[in-house]
Amino acid sequence: MIQRVVILSGGTAGTLTANRLQREIGGQAAITVVDRDDDHWYQPGLLFVPFGRARPGKLIRPRARQLRPGIGYHQSPVEHVDVAGRQVHLEDGTVLPYDVLVIATGAALLPGETDGLAEAMAQGKAFTFYEPAGAAALRDALTAFDGGRIAINVVDMPIKCPVAPIEFGLLADWYFCRRGIRDRVELTLVTPLDGAFTRPVASRQLGGLLEARRIGLVTEFNTGEVDADDRRLVSFDGREVAFDLAVVVPVHGGQSYVGRSPGLGDALGFVPADERTLQSKASPDIFVIGDAADLRASKAGSVAHFEGEVLVRNIRSFLAGEPLAASYDGHANCFIESGFGKALLIDFNYDTEPLAGRFPGRAGLPLLKESRLNHLGKLGFQQFYWHVLLPGRDVPGLAAAMPRAGKHFPAAADAGTALTGSPRDE
């Protein structure tokens, strides 16, 4: 009997999952991908748009064309999921029954959750580069900016690509140096974290880099209001950060249909799942991948890539009535663009901090260190994304599990005790 697999979202996680499944069990399953539109954005490229290093039109392709032949594509927003009835109800009236449902709908930006932020964005006093229109508007604002205070504000965690706000600050330093006005620009990263990043080792490294670039760091700042009239960020404890231009990463949550689907998600709209098998806690026939999941893993494209290998294996096992593999280890890695033709690379998982060394082995790219090679890797990732990651291809030497070879483990960790970091990596 043909099994019905419905995948919600044709984004990064949904597309690579569909392509992997079609390649491995295409003759045994009818796979349908659902999304609200046909615009697949290369989201990492949005970071470069404000600095004139990428054009939005070069970052977008049709969703349906990224899917392997034989995969169905249905364009409509999701109305709700009937967990008990094993059905997806779409806003166009279509009802899709499933044997397996994959939630891959990512995270939504919720500027309305912060007092004054939506108004500040509408008035052109606050911007976000986390979506295409905002990135383009910020490009125009930076072009016209000739001096003053720029506050880069992460309102709350978790967020997509946790290093992106740090990258924005470092690229802004490079950008204004290139324009010859860096001495007239005050850059400040304002974060709810107790450091620059969630993991202590990387946080110290990145915090030192920010300091060296004269980028201020305000920590444990929980933004309660963005005051557009007086141009200030106000925290819940009453602290203030003044700005002339605010670059804001709004509160993130799950997609709205999750809240209309009883039992599926948590209070933020993310979908709780087993962090090792990726099976939803709502029902055994539902799996979760990517930014939609409530996991300790970072919300980043590399995570979806590593999760995909485990997820597809477990879907196959579930359909065959076999035990699931509890094998996803939280593996994540990320290039961190630092400007001036250099970048860093970090690689870690649930239990292991970002460490110095090489990735994916002793002859690989340098970890936790600025280099030209990492910058070229960051730029080259776009082609890797379209031609390797999205098609769901395996990469020799780059498996789901975090590699240990090439990393400089402390002696205790190398003997079997992991170097543990933050309890949440978003």
- Structural domain including 247 reads 109-252
State the 10-residue block means of pLDDT for the chain, 426 residues long: 95 98 93 98 97 96 97 98 98 98 98 98 97 98 98 97 96 98 98 92 93 98 98 98 98 97 96 98 98 93 94 97 97 96 96 94 94 96 95 86 92 50 41
Which of 319, 341, 359 is the endpoint of a domain? 319
Domains: count for the chain = 3
Task: State whether 248 and 117 are in the same domain.
Answer: yes
Task: State whether 103 and 116 are in the same domain.
Answer: no
Q: Is 112 helix (H, G, I), strand (E, B) or coil?
A: helix
State pTM to two decimals: 0.94
Could you tell me which residues are beta bridge partners of residue 185? 148
pLDDT score at 419:
52
Task: State whether 288 and 186 are in the same domain.
Answer: no
Q: Give domain status of residue 353, yes or no.
A: yes
CA 368, distance to chain mean position in Å, is: 20
Which of 208, 233, 252 is the endpoint of a domain? 252
Task: State whether 113 and 248 are in the same domain.
Answer: yes
Of the candidates 185, 179, 182, 122, the residue with the CA atom closest to the CA atom of residue 152: 185
pLDDT score at 415:
41
CB atoms inside a 10 Å sphere around CB 222? 12
Q: Give domain status of residue 425, yes or no.
A: no
pLDDT score at 6:
98
All residues at 6 or more sequence positions from 34 whose CB lies less than 8 Å from its CB, including other chains: 6, 7, 8, 9, 10, 73, 74, 75, 76, 78, 88, 90, 96
Sort strands 100-103 and 95-97 into parallel, antiparallel or unpaired: unpaired
Region for residue 258 given its phi and psi (left: phi exceeds 0; alpha: psi -120 to 50; beta: otherwise): alpha
Output the CA torsion sign for 293, 255, 21, 42.
negative
Task: State whether 276 and 179 are in the same domain.
Answer: no
Local structure of residue 371 (DSSP, 8 states): B
Whole-angstrom Cα distance, residue 265 to residue 257?
10
CB atoms inside a 10 Å sphere around CB 417? 12
Q: Give domain status of residue 423, yes or no.
A: no
Whole-angstrom Cα distance, residue 352 to residue 119?
41
Task: State whether 115 and 224 are in the same domain.
Answer: yes
Local structure of residue 284 (DSSP, 8 states): T
Which of 277, 296, 319 is the endpoint of a domain? 319
Task: State whether 173 and 99 are in the same domain.
Answer: no
Task: State whether 217 and 290 are in the same domain.
Answer: no
Q: Is 308 helix (H, G, I), strand (E, B) or coil?
A: helix
| 21 φ, ψ (degrees, to nearest 5) | -65, -45
Task: State whether 126 and 247 are in the same domain.
Answer: yes
